[in-house]
Structure 1
Amino acid sequence: MAGRRALVTGAGQGIGAAVARTLAAQGAHVAATDRRAGGIEALASEHTPSAEHAEGAAEGAGAITPYAMDVTDAAAVHDVVEAVTVRHGPLDILVNVAGILRPGPAAELSDADWGDTFAVNATGVFHTARAVAPGMAARGRGSIVTVGSNAAGVPRTQLGAYAASKAAAAMYTKCLGLELARSGVRCNVVAPGSTDTAMQRALWRDPDALTRVLDGDPAVYRTGIPLGRIAEPSDIADAVLFLVSDLARHITMQELYVDGGATLR
């Protein structure tokens, strides 16, 4: 990763923050984006770039630079990508992590819940990929990873909008990968299962919630996690690191499930 330039969305917390830290630890210069500035500014303070690295002129130790950005705003995405490119150089890596969760019965979701979920989880991926992919294709290299969800491939109760939006983002990423393959740009999906993040914990409303996640819950048609542990954000970040690295140079249009075997794939 030394000297490579990456943009990570949803980097203010959880999986996005773990991805940004992991890439920077391996030497990448990461543009960490999030709608709220607080999390990415704190993250950036952990990896302060040298003056030379800040201008994109040096390789070596990684760095993180914060950029406030709302992925639902196409113009804002375009402006941030342009600013990152001017300041740090062309992007080699894009990792789409930004996401929201609005749980509820599928037939009772409001228009706002459905629309907001797709605006971030699916349209946000479209906005960032559209802004980054042409430059990668022109240079003949690059890697795009979308962090989806195992819910995109297995029905989940109370997650109709979330699962549908993640499925849309995953298929868009694969279609983009097919179109960009001859240009040398790879596009893949990492599909986490239950991961110990603020989003996950918001679903836990009683002391037995974690046990049901690990052991399964027949009442919601859910199998458990065969490995017997919930993922940490770093587990997902390591999968992303593999897919954006040269170790995965012959892998594109794939969906890697990182869920401890929960979907029995």
Structure 2
Amino acid sequence: MSAALDGRLALVTGAGRGIGAAVVTALVEEGARVVATDRDGDHVEAVADKHGDRVVARPLDVTDAAAVEALVAETERDLGPLDIAVNVAGVLRDAPVADLREEDWAVHFAVNTTGVFHVSRAASRRMAGRGRGSIVTVASNAGGIPRANLSAYAASKAAAVMFTKCLGLEVAGRGVRCNTVSPGSTMTDMQRALWTAGEEESSARRVIDGDLASYRTGIPLGRIADPADIADAVVFLASDRARHITMHDLYVDGGATLRA
């Protein structure tokens, strides 16, 4: 086991599956202890069970400010000072703007943006007081390039990126780094939900090849990301290997946006 994060304590939201679960695994492999949280308690318990006493599972709705504050306080009281916080919890409901319901718009911002605010505020207050810490928010490359039918998702992720940068500016002088990782298409349940049922292979091919009609580029590297690809970027930014990096938005999308 690498000692890059040996002795560090991390909090991960949205850890019940997909990228969040991969981040938990990557942190543990680097020596960290992890408090894994998710609104789905059963899924996050299953993730924790794979890692023994290195991971503690806790149910958490990131839209509930009081619950977030209570969990962070409990974590620091029972397990020690929090060194790393990773915001992964997110939702995606695709629809053209003309058909987008107000409740769908609201839930995107409640989870993808306000949830990031709740967790980052609670963590950064404590980290800044100690003069150290790292916060990483998982956003999306959709936050940096227009995507048809993803207006609410893209807008909420763009807001999360700018919030994280502003926070990073405020706490940089107190030793806390704040960065974002913006994945492209990644093989998760969220990605598969956008595909035609029973046509996973052809749907994946269309993502890789791109679609001129919807002004969507393909993926130059010729593959859809694995959650572990995103997790590796998160762990790098959380670690001392990135000690001089803050307010950075790292695209992990195989070149899909041509970094527009």
Q: 1:125 aligns with which of 110, 116, 119?
A: 116
Runs of 4+ in 1 over 3 A off after TM superposition: none
Cα offset, 1:83, TM superposition: 0.9
Cα offset, 1:25, TM superposition: 1.4
> Aligned equivalents of 2:149 and 2:224: distance in 1?
20
Match of 1:28 in 2: 32
Cα offset, 1:219, TM superposition: 1.5
Match of 1:179 in 2: 170
Q: Secondary structure at the match of 1:227?
A: coil
Cα displacement string for residues 231-253 of structure 1 (whole angstroms, at most 9, x for unaligned residues): 00000000001001111000000
- Are 1:214 and 2:212 counterparts? no
> Aligned equivalents of 1:79 and 1:184: distance in 2?
24
Q: Secondary structure at the match of 2:154?
A: helix
Cα displacement string for residues 119-167 of structure 1 (whole angstroms, at most 9, x for unaligned residues): 0000000000111101100100000000000000000011000000000
- What are the equivalent positions in structure 2 for 1:1-265 lying under 5 Å apart? 1-49=5-53, 63-205=54-196, 207=199, 208-265=202-259
Q: Secondary structure at the match of 2:52?
A: coil
> Aligned equivalents of 1:67 and 1:80: distance in 2?
8
Match of 1:60 in 2: none
Gaps of 5+ in 1: 50-62
> Aligned equivalents of 2:215 and 2:206: distance in 1?
11
For residue 132 of structure 2, what is the amino acid of its counterpart? R
Cα displacement string for residues 158-216 of structure 1 (whole angstroms, at most 9, x for unaligned residues): 10000000000000000000000100100000000000000000001163211110011
Paired residues in the alignment total 252
> Aligned equivalents of 1:27 and 1:79: distance in 2?
26
> Aligned equivalents of 2:10 and 2:98: distance in 1?
39
Gaps of 5+ in 2: none
> Aligned equivalents of 1:154 and 1:230: distance in 2?
18
Q: Secondary structure at the match of 2:195?
A: coil
> Aligned equivalents of 2:24 and 2:75: distance in 1?
15
For residue 42 of structure 1, what is the amino acid of its counterpart? A
> Aligned equivalents of 2:112 and 2:216: distance in 1?
23
Cα offset, 1:87, TM superposition: 1.1
Cα offset, 1:107, TM superposition: 2.7
Could you say what the CA RMSD is over the residues aligned between the two structures, in angstroms? 0.7
> Aligned equivalents of 1:68 and 1:162: distance in 2?
24
> Aligned equivalents of 2:20 and 2:169: distance in 1?
25
Percent of aligned pairs sharing the same letter:
64
> Aligned equivalents of 2:81 and 2:99: distance in 1?
44
> Aligned equivalents of 1:248 and 1:160: distance in 2?
32
Structure 1 range deviating more: 255-264 or 35-44 = 35-44
> Aligned equivalents of 2:56 and 2:254: distance in 1?
32
